[in-house]
Amino acid sequence: MNLVSAIHRDIFRIISNSAKKIRQDCYVVGGYVRDFLLGKNLSQDLDILTIGEGIKLAKEVSKHIKPTPRINIFKRFGTAMLEFDNQKIEFVGSRKESYHLYSRNPIIDFGTLQDDQNRRDFTINALAISLNKNNYGKLFDPFGGVLDLRKKILRNPLNSDITYSDDPLRMMRAIRFATQLQFIIDKSSFKSIQRNKNRISIVSIERITEEFNKILLSKRPSIGLFLLSKCGLLSIILPELVLLQGIEEKNGYKHKDNFYHTLQVVDNISQEKNNSIWLRWVALLHDIGKPYTKKFLPKIGWSFHAHELVGSKMSSNIFKRLKLPKGKYIKYVKKIIQNSYRPVSLIEHNSSDSAIRRLLFDMGEYMEDLIKLCIADITTKNIEKRNKYKKNFFLLMERMKKLEEKDRIQKWKPPISGNDIMNAFHINPCKEIGIIKNFIKESILDGKISNEFSPAYFLMLKKGKELGLKKIIKN
């Protein structure tokens, strides 16, 4: 069985020769082995395990690569990384670990290959391929990882309670791998996650969020979100989402389960190409204001009035708590959530061009992603209704396109500047300038004039005259 891909054959030969020279056995471990056996596209990044000093092997390997690669050394962890040709190779010495109760940072000692495999989180990640001369290419699989790959099962090599209690981040990794690979978590392993869920409190929020984002970036995030809910971790990480669960019925009226609706919206968004993590966060949080705005109206049913505004404000606190990026990212998320119902309102009523222009103006560069959310938000199982809603959105997009081509609203640039106004009336900066500019903007949005200099200029003169300003005529 050839476990060496053509992509990495040359670098594996260099590593093998270097390891022999310094008399340290070495193995390929981690994602490369797993993905190779799964027949997936192989990453350029490699993890090399050596029975000895990882830094020593990295330095030896670097001598035989031209041009000489950059080497990053992490003495605290005894690891080193080589970077060259868009490739990263990490070298680590084999080790065994022990843990304190209130820390996921292990006490590390030198160990054997078996010690290192024992400490792995899952059997499918405990696989190793030898790069040693005497057994080059041999697969070491002490826990039946290959069989688990075939069965599509995530299983811990050793006692699950110890695995998750020692390093609770492994609970998030279990759900992340189950989502990315679309594997089933072994029953006893999943029950252990349920028992140990509160141990997640000793993990830094940054590491938790990193794993959560990887779940969101998968092809079907709903797999991981459902598992997080089922095991109880979601109640700790994102309780606002858990509150969406459930259906309430009153006087024959009931609303949909907004949690499962949200999972479907996130999956719908994830089918789109080139969607950023932030649009997925929008989809995830777009309904979180509903539990706080839910009201029952006799003869009408359930109402969630202004849930978009409430949800938009809540998203700021969530980003702060999870230590997600601020600035333009939270601005983007808040703005789309806050305006998420406006396109729906436009297609439900006989909307005017003015209303569409104002939405284009308010959303600017976010307009396209807002429409993507609205289409992803269509989760009805009634095919006729679903097609009708989508058709209405496409018709709205056509109207938007025509208005944007005519009036250039999204990338707004006033046809009349403050300098134009000051020169026309021979005035210094004052409040009247702002009044005139706003009047021209509103007139364009209302469709009274086109977004061009000439009609805007004449409107400026008219409004200036109303404000008591006089046009200066130059000789």
Would you tell me how many other CB atoms lie within 10 Å of the CB of residue 104? 18
- For residue 475, the model assigns a pLDDT of 45
Q: Between helices 328-338 and 307-321, what is the axis angle to 10°?
A: 160
Question: What is this structure's pTM?
Answer: 0.88
Q: How far apart are CA 93 and CA 53, in angstroms?
A: 5
Task: For the chain, state the CA radius of gyration.
Answer: 30
- For residue 256, the model assigns a pLDDT of 86
| Tokens standing for residue 323 | 């230590």
* Cross-strand bridge partners of residue 29: 47, 128
| Tokens standing for residue 253 | 């009226």
- For residue 1, the model assigns a pLDDT of 44
CB 89 within 8 A of CB 76: no
User: Is residue 127 helix, strand or coil?
Assistant: coil
- For residue 68, the model assigns a pLDDT of 85
- For residue 10, the model assigns a pLDDT of 87
| Tokens standing for residue 373 | 């959310």
Q: How far apart are CA 431 and CA 147, in angstroms?
A: 75
Q: How far apart are CA 114 and CA 334, in angstroms?
A: 50
Residues sharing a CB contact under 8 Å with residue 425, sequence separation 6 or more, in sequence order:
464, 469, 470, 471, 472
Domain covering 9-148 in this structure, CATH number: 3.30.460.10
Q: What angle do CA 261, 227, 243 make, to 5 degrees?
A: 50
Give the residue from 266, 210, 206 showing the smallest Cα distance to 241: 266
Q: What is the DSSP string of 167-189?
A: -THHHHHHHHHHHHHTPEEPHHH
Domain ranges of the chain: 9-148, 418-466
Q: Tell me phi and psi for residue 77, to 5 degrees.
A: -100, -5
Residues of the chain below pLDDT 70: 1-7, 96-109, 274, 472-475
Residues sharing a CB contact under 8 Å with residue 18, sequence separation 6 or more, in sequence order:
57, 60, 61, 63, 64
Q: How far apart are CA 440 and CA 430, in angstroms?
A: 17
Terminal Cα-to-Cα distance of the chain (whole angstroms): 92
Q: How far apart are CA 118 and CA 471, in angstroms?
A: 85
Q: How far apart are CA 467 and CA 270, in angstroms?
A: 53
Give the residue from 170, 55, 51, 19 showing the smallest Cα distance to 106: 170
Give the residue from 410, 466, 473, 468 showing the smallest Cα distance to 439: 466
Cis amide prior to 67 (ω within 30 degrees): yes
| Tokens standing for residue 407 | 């009036």
Amino acid at 332: Y
Q: What angle do CA 188, 193, 195 make, to 5 degrees?
A: 95
Residues sharing a CB contact under 8 Å with residue 133, sequence separation 6 or more, in sequence order:
16, 20
Q: How far apart are CA 64 and CA 69, in angstroms?
A: 10
